[in-house]
């Protein structure tokens, strides 16, 4: 457990992690290939629209005692009965619903063929007339749902762009978030087309829900980016890309936990819908949520922040900040991709990713400069000299500070003295102040 905690602390301080911003070309290439496949599938195969969008007839047969070979039996029965009634039943699809029911969908049938098919299905599966139901859905209903969904999507994008631009005080964060959401939407819809999944009204609702989830995860990362960039602009110790990369690593564990806590219940619902309930609204909704959550978790880490860094690191203010950070880092031996000084990477027992060299030990061995770790000092002296013990004849120059500041703590108030059995601060009695 301690190793996991240490790993999380190292991610937060910048000692460990992945260079998401520096390797953005790799992530963009992977996403570009996936987008190309999805767009190609949409262009050549098209969407597998459900009955609600294309219109047609639907038959449901319940309380079936023997469901063996139900798909072949139902399809042959429907085609034969429709042909005898003088109409061709096209695009027949048969799915099992639960343990003892089936659903048959066809192109639109007239009243006489519909009655003939219902009777034939009842005879084939040996159920009464009350156990066979038939419904007709016109394509106008599906078109209305599609238009409303498209209108809702455009309004959603417009509101998101305005709110994010005002909240983060820059339109570039809003643009990066919108790019990530478009990325998620195209890949999710493309995977549906590529795998042949059916698009239903529940799937449309799921698409909109996925966009909200992706936006939520992206905003959390961007909020940390905003905080780190503000601190870096004041200290001049990190470039914009380094501050943004540190923010992604700091929120990585949270993003993974949030995604897993969302994936687990959705997966359970998907399995129950697939094995127990059968095709329906629950299965359609859980399937699109599962795909969208995974894609959204990927884009919030590997797409949104790298796109933001690409948009902002060419600004004059960010270029000037990068020069200041490079001067500071080069004067102290360099830094990693999150802006953590290389000299600090070997230090343990602190959660600070940017140690102040003025808070280093007051004395050090000859030839060891501020910022050198204890391990480096011992290595240079054969391990015989402590990092806090001055070498013979060596003196360290440093501005005088309160003894408590030598360990990186704030100086005590003048009215507080050091004392007690464990050297704890002890306040002077009020009568002696």
As a whole number, mean pLDDT of residues 126-146 equals 77
Tens of pLDDT, residues 79-126: 888 888 878 777 788 877 777 788 888 888 888 888 888 888 888 888
304-312 and 281-302 helices cross at what angle (nearest 10)?
40
pLDDT at 423: 52
In the chain, pLDDT over 90 holds for what percent of residues?
Answer: 10
As a whole number, mean pLDDT of residues 14-24 equals 81
> How far are the Cα atoms of 22, 83, 253 from residue 241, in angstroms, in the given order?
8, 67, 20
CA distance 232 to 327: 14
pLDDT at residue 309 greater than cutoff 50: yes
Which comes out higher in pLDDT, residue 399 or 263? 263
pLDDT at 209: 81
> How far are the Cα atoms of 58, 89, 173, 202, 382 from residue 55, in angstroms, in the given order?
10, 13, 42, 16, 83
pLDDT at residue 381 greater than cutoff 60: no
pLDDT at 180: 92
As a whole number, mean pLDDT of residues 36-65 equals 82
What sign does the dihedral 391-397-398-400 (CA atoms) show?
positive
In the chain, pLDDT over 70 holds for what percent of residues?
Answer: 74
| Ramachandran region, residue 270 (left: φ > 0; alpha: ψ -120 to 50; beta: rest) | alpha
Which comes out higher in pLDDT, residue 45 or 231? 231
> How far are the Cα atoms of 79, 124, 427 from residue 430, in angstroms, in the given order?
99, 98, 9
Question: Dmax over Cα atoms in the chain, in whole Å?
Answer: 111
The answer to whether 305 and 203 have CB atoms below 8 angstroms apart is no
pLDDT at 18: 81
The answer to whether 287 and 270 have CB atoms below 8 angstroms apart is yes
pLDDT at residue 403 greater than cutoff 50: no
pLDDT level of residue 278 (50, 70, 90 thresholds):
low
CA 159 to chain centre: 21
Strand bridging mode 132-137 / 56-61: antiparallel
Which residue, among 249, 199, 258, has the nearest Cα to 225 in the 3D structure?
249
pLDDT at 415: 47
Which residue, among 202, 240, 138, 56, has the nearest Cα to 248 in the 3D structure?
240
CA distance 253 to 97: 39
Lowest model confidence (mean pLDDT) among 8-22, 83-97, 200-214: 8-22
* Coil vs helix vs strand at 259: helix
- Rounding to the nearest 10 degrees, give the CA dihedral for residues 286, 291, 295, 297: 40
Q: How many residues does the chain have?
A: 433
pLDDT at 9: 66
pLDDT at 407: 46
pLDDT at residue 394 greater than cutoff 70: no
Q: Choose the most confident range, by mean pLDDT, from 49-58, 247-256, 395-404, 412-421.
A: 247-256
Annotate 27-91 with three-state secondary structure. HHHHHHHHHHHHHHHHHHCCCEECHHHHCEEEEEECCCCCCCCHHHHHHHHHHHHHHHCCCCCCC
pLDDT level of residue 374 (50, 70, 90 thresholds):
very low
Mean pLDDT of all residues belonging to the chain: 76
pLDDT at 357: 38
pLDDT at 402: 47
Which residue, among 205, 218, 217, 209, has the nearest Cα to 175 in the 3D structure?
218
As a whole number, mean pLDDT of residues 216-236 equals 89
pLDDT at 32: 92
* Coil vs helix vs strand at 400: coil
Lowest model confidence (mean pLDDT) among 23-32, 127-136, 143-152, 378-387: 378-387
Lowest model confidence (mean pLDDT) among 8-12, 164-168, 190-194: 8-12
240-250 and 304-312 helices cross at what angle (nearest 10)?
170
Strand bridging mode 48-49 / 198-199: parallel
pLDDT at residue 376 greater than cutoff 50: no
Place of tokens 């990927």: 298
> How far are the Cα atoms of 186, 423, 424 from residue 181, in angstroms, in the given order?
9, 56, 54
pLDDT level of residue 375 (50, 70, 90 thresholds):
very low
* Long-range contact set of residues 42-45: C-beta below 8 Å, sequence gap at least 24: 42/189, 42/190, 42/193, 45/193, 45/194
H-only helix segments in 303-422: 304-312, 316-330, 374-380
Number of alpha carbons in the 13 Å side-chain half-sphere of residue 253: 13
pLDDT level of residue 430 (50, 70, 90 thresholds):
low
* Coil vs helix vs strand at 339: coil
As a whole number, mean pLDDT of residues 317-328 equals 88
* Coil vs helix vs strand at 325: helix
Residue 136's beta-bridge partner residues? 57
As a whole number, mean pLDDT of residues 248-269 equals 85
Q: Choose the most confident range, by mean pLDDT, from 172-181, 263-272, 360-369.
A: 172-181
Which comes out higher in pLDDT, residue 306 or 90? 306
């Amino acid at each position: 457990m301690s190793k996991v905690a240490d790993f999380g602390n190292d991610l937060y301080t910048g000692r460990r992690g992945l260079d998401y911003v520096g390797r953005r070309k790799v992530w963009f290439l992977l996403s570009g290939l996936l987008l190309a496949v999805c767009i190609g599938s949409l262009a050549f195969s098209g969407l597998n629209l459900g009955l609600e969008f294309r219109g047609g007839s639907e038959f449901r047969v319940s309380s079936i005692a023997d469901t063996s070979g139900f798909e072949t039996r139902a399809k042959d029965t429907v085609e034969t009965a429709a042909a005898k009634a003088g109409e061709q039943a096209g695009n027949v699809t048969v799915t099992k619903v639960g343990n003892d029911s089936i659903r048959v969908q066809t192109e639109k049938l007239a009243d006489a063929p519909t009655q003939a098919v219902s009777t034939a299905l009842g005879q084939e599966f040996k159920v009464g007339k009350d156990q066979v139901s038939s419904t007709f859905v016109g394509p106008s209903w599906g078109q209305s749902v599609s238009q409303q969904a498209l209108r809702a999507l455009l309004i959603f994008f417009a509101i998101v762009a305005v709110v994010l631009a005002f909240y983060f005080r820059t339109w570039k964060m809003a643009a990066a978030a919108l790019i990530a959401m478009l990325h998620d939407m195209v890949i999710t819809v493309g995977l549906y087309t590529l795998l042949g999944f059916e698009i239903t009204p529940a799937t449309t609702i799921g698409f909109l829900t996925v966009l909200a989830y992706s936006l939520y995860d992206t905003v959390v990362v961007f909020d940390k980016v905003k905080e780190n960039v503000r601190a870096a602009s004041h200290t001049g110790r990190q470039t914009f890309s380094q501050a943004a990369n540190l923010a992604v690593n700091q929120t990585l564990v949270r993003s993974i936990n949030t995604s897993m806590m969302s994936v687990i219940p959705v997966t359970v619902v998907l399995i129950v819908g697939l094995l127990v309930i059968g095709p329906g609204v629950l299965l359609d909704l859980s399937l699109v949520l599962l795909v969208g959550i995974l894609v959204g978790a990927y884009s919030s880490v590997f797409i949104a922040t790298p796109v933001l860094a690409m948009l902002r690191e060419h600004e004059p203010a960010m270029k000037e900040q990068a020069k200041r950070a490079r001067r500071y880092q080069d004067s102290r031996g360099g830094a990693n991709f999150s802006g953590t000084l290389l000299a600090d990477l070997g230090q343990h027992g602190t959660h600070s990713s940017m140690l102040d060299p003025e808070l280093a030990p007051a004395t050090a061995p000859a030839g060891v400069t501020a910022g050198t770790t204890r391990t480096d000092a011992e290595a240079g002296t054969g391990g015989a000299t402590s990092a806090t013990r001055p070498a013979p004849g060596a003196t360290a120059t440093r501005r005088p500070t309160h003894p408590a500041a030598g360990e990186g703590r704030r100086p005590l108030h003048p009215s507080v003295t050091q004392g007690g059995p464990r050297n704890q601060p002890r306040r002077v009695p009020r009568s002696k102040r």
